[in-house]
Amino acid sequence: MPSDTPQWQTLLESFGLLWPAKACSVGVLVGCSGGADSVGLVRLIDHAFRKAEATSPAKRPATAPPLIIAHFNHRLRASESDADERLVRDLADSLNRTCIVGTPPPEGDASCDESSLRNMRRRFFVKTARHQGCRYIATAHTAGDQAETVLHHVLRGTGSQGLTGMQPATPIAEDFVVLRPLLATQREQIGAAMSEIGQTWREDASNQDSRYTRNWLRNDVMPLIRTRLPQVNDSLLRLSANQSMTQDLLAMLADQWLTAFHQDGPRDDTGFTSFFRKPSLVGSAVDRNAVDRNAVGWNTVDWNHDLALAVHPAVITCACQTLFARKSIPRGEMSQTHWIRLANWIRSDSAPTQNRISRGHLPGHIEVFETSHQIELAVPNNSPHS
């Protein structure tokens, strides 16, 4: 590497802010399309691995962790797609790293919409990471991608979680974590650094095709907004950062809420049941009646906040969404109306009764029951959500 490379050194510093050093000790698969951003990410991670490999023998693992460069050739642009693949293979050879290329199966889904293509790549990355013994999957999403993602979510009417945008690290497929160490880095910075060190890349002509929503936002919408609001990228990134802090606080409260007001019920061949104790009735005469409560194993409520927070719909909704994630119940069909309905059932102060009544159903054939002091969710095993 030339000694006079200020752009590269600045890029290394930006990358280092979000790159977990432990990743170099357990193996990384880095997705590379052949564009400037992903080629830059390969060079950065390779640099981090070589730096880790240069540590003293006492700290070096007996078996070097793998660094795998993965490229998925969708074969949508004929010779152009093949040229992208050749560049990625040549890059891997120049760094003496393993390159694995995936392609769509001949009999596979011919869909080429954004969602289908993204899911195809993701499945390939996860499968390859598993076979190669990698714990982390690194992708080259930049600060510009983050701003576009937040705007896209806003236009689609996202909830509060969607305003946080992408996170630097996200669990995927149980055993793996997606890393996005360039989320604080601008695309222009990456291109300048690659030019400075003499690293070539390829421009994907399909990135100019505004039929894809992401390209439309990048090529048409964002430039138009900048004519009136030049700092729109920074504004969207601030929105994401502020919402992430708010969401972190809400997630902490939701976790405490579940500890206090949720209890796992029985699980058998037909499914499982979850019980929500109504926080509005804590300390009431109904709550002191322990007959049904003991039947589902309630412990003493440990809630160190006031009642208004315990019955707040935002806290309860976040708690329910957290529970769905923990129970591996997909939330795709749960609309805002469903979440609000469930939260209102839980926070309601019903008339005292020991009768168990049906409140209705939620998507996925989840049946909801209510007594005077709790809400029950019955999730069948044959549900598409279970």
Instruction: Give the ranges where 133-284 is alpha helix by DSSP (H).
Output: 143-155, 187-196, 213-216, 222-226, 232-261
pLDDT at 212: 85
User: Residue-wise pLDDT tens for the chain (386 aa)?
Assistant: 656 899 999 999 999 999 998 999 999 999 999 999 999 999 999 999 999 888 756 566 667 789 999 999 988 888 888 999 999 999 999 999 999 999 988 765 556 677 888 889 999 999 999 999 999 999 999 999 999 999 999 998 888 888 999 999 999 877 899 999 999 999 999 999 999 999 999 988 778 888 888 899 999 999 999 999 999 999 999 999 999 999 999 999 999 999 999 998 878 777 889 999 989 876 554 454 544 444 444 555 678 898 899 999 999 999 999 999 888 887 778 888 999 999 999 998 765 556 789 999 999 889 999 987 889 999 987 544 44
Q: Would you state the structure tokens that stand for residue 187, as one six-digit string?
A: 């695309």
Kind plus residue range of the DSSP H or E element containing 136: strand 136-138
Does 34 belong to an annotated binding site?
Answer: yes
Superfamily for 6-230? HUPs (3.40.50.620)
**Is 328 marked as a binding-site residue?**
no
Which residues, at least 6 apart from 19, have a Cβ–Cβ distance to it below 8 Å?
44, 45, 48, 179, 181
Q: Kindly give the residue spans of alpha helices, DSSP state H, lying in 262-368.
A: 285-288, 291-295, 307-310, 313-326, 336-347
Neighbour order of strands in the sheet with 67-72: 98-102, 67-72, 28-31, 136-138, 176-179, 169-172
CB-facing half-sphere around the CA of 122: CA atoms within 13 A: 12
Cα separation, 168 vs 179, in Å, equals 6
For residue 381, the model assigns a pLDDT of: 76
233 phi/psi in degrees, rounded to 5: -60, -50
Domain ranges of the chain: 6-230, 250-380
> From CA 30, how far away is CA 244, in angstroms rounded?
25
CB 232 within 8 A of CB 240: no
Q: Is 38 annotated as a binding residue?
A: yes
Q: Are 114 and 212 within 8 A, CB to CB?
A: yes
Residue 35 labelled as part of a binding site: yes
Please indicate, yes or no, whether the overall pTM of this predicted structure exceeds 0.85: no
| Two structure tokens written together for 309 | 């927070």
Q: What is the rounded distance in angstroms from the CA atom of residue 7 to the CA atom of residue 192?
A: 7
The angle formed by the CA atoms of residues 238, 234 and 150, to the nearest 5 degrees, is 65
Tell whether residue 36 is among the known ligand binding residues: yes
